[in-house]
A and B are shown apart, each in its own frame.
Chain A
Amino acid sequence: MTNRINKKFKELKSQRQKALIAFITAGDPSLTKTKELVLGFEKAGIDIVELGIPFSDPMADGPTIQASSQRALDRGTTLTKIIALTERLRKKTQIPITFMMYYNHIFHYGEERFVKKIKKVGVDGLIVPDLPVEEAKSLIKLCQKHDISLIPFISPTTSEARIKKIAKQASGFIYYVSVAGVTGARSSVGDSYVKQIKRTRKYTKTPVCVGFGISTPQQAKKIARNADGVIVGSAIINQIQKHSKNKTMVAKVSGFVKTLVQVLH
Chain B
Amino acid sequence: MKNPDKHGHFGAFGGKYVPETLMVPLEELEVAFKGAMKSAAFKKEFTALLTDYAGRPTNLYLAKRLSAHLKTLKVYCKREDLLHTGAHKINNTLGQVLLAKKMGKTRIIAETGAGQHGVATATAAALMGLPCDVYMGEEDIHRQALNVDRMRLMGAKVIPVTSGSKTLKDAMNEAIRDWVTNVSNTFYCIGSVAGPHPYPLMVREFQAIIGKEARKQFLKAEGKLPNYLVACVGGGSNAMGLFYPFVKDKKVKIIGVEAAGHGVHSQFHAAPMAAKQIGVLHGSKSYLMQTRDGQVKIAHSIAAGLDYPGVGPEHSYFNVTGRAQYVSVTDKEAIKGLKLMSELEGVIPAVETAHAVYYLEKLAKKVKKKSTVILCFSGRGDKDMGQIKEYI
| A157 neighbours in B (Cβ, 8 Å) | 20-25, 183
Chain A, 54-69, contact with B by CB distance < 8 Å: what is the 0/1 string?
A: 0111111110001000
A107-B280 Cα distance, complex, nearest whole Å = 8
Q: Please list the residues of chain A having a beta carbon within 8 angstroms of any beta carbon in chain B.
A: 55-62, 66, 70, 73, 78-80, 102-105, 107-109, 129-132, 134-135, 152-159, 162, 166, 177, 180-182
B295 at interface by CB-CB < 8 Å: yes
- Whether B290 lies near A108 (C-beta < 8 A) is yes
B177 at interface by CB-CB < 8 Å: yes
A62-B7 Cα distance, complex, nearest whole Å = 28
| B181 neighbours in A (Cβ, 8 Å) | 180-182
| B283 neighbours in A (Cβ, 8 Å) | 130
B285 at interface by CB-CB < 8 Å: yes
Q: Is the interface of B mostly helix, strand, loop or mixed?
A: mixed
- Whether B294 lies near A109 (C-beta < 8 A) is yes
Minimum CB–CB distance from B28 to chain A (whole Å) comes to: 10
Q: Is the interface of A mostly helix, strand, loop or mixed?
A: loop
Stretch at the interface among B11-19, B325-333, B345-353, B372-380: B11-19
B390 at interface by CB-CB < 8 Å: no
A130-B17 Cα distance, complex, nearest whole Å = 5
- Whether A162 lies near B163 (C-beta < 8 A) is no
| B290 neighbours in A (Cβ, 8 Å) | 104, 108
| A102 neighbours in B (Cβ, 8 Å) | 280
Q: Please list the residues of chain B having a beta carbon within 8 angstroms of any beta carbon in chain A.
A: 7, 15-25, 163-164, 169-170, 173, 176-177, 180-181, 183-184, 278-283, 285, 288, 290, 293-296
- Whether B163 lies near A59 (C-beta < 8 A) is no
Nearest B-chain residue to A180, judged by Cβ:
B21
6 A-B residue pairs with Cβ-Cβ distance under 8 Å, sorted by A, are A57-B170, A60-B177, A80-B293, A104-B296, A132-B23, A135-B16
Minimum CB–CB distance from A141 to chain B (whole Å) comes to: 17
Minimum CB–CB distance from A176 to chain B (whole Å) comes to: 10
* Cβ contact of B173, chosen from A59, A129, A153, cutoff 8 A: A59
A180-B17 Cα distance, complex, nearest whole Å = 16
Contact A158:B24 (CB < 8 A) given known A108-B279, A129-B19: yes
Contact A79:B23 (CB < 8 A) given known A57-B173, A104-B280: no
Counting chain A CB atoms within 10 Å of each CB, which of B17, B163, B279, B283 scores highest? B17
Minimum CB–CB distance from A181 to chain B (whole Å) comes to: 4
| A130 neighbours in B (Cβ, 8 Å) | 17-19, 280, 283
- Whether A57 lies near B177 (C-beta < 8 A) is no
* Cβ contact of A57, chosen from B164, B180, B285, cutoff 8 A: B164
Counting chain A CB atoms within 10 Å of each CB, which of B18, B173, B177 scores highest? B177
| A79 neighbours in B (Cβ, 8 Å) | 293-294
Minimum CB–CB distance from B273 to chain A (whole Å) comes to: 17
Nearest B-chain residue to A166, judged by Cβ:
B20
| B176 neighbours in A (Cβ, 8 Å) | 59
| A154 neighbours in B (Cβ, 8 Å) | 20
Nearest B-chain residue to A158, judged by Cβ:
B20
A29-B164 Cα distance, complex, nearest whole Å = 18
Contact A105:B183 (CB < 8 A) given known A56-B164, A62-B177, A135-B17: no
| A134 neighbours in B (Cβ, 8 Å) | 7, 15-16, 23
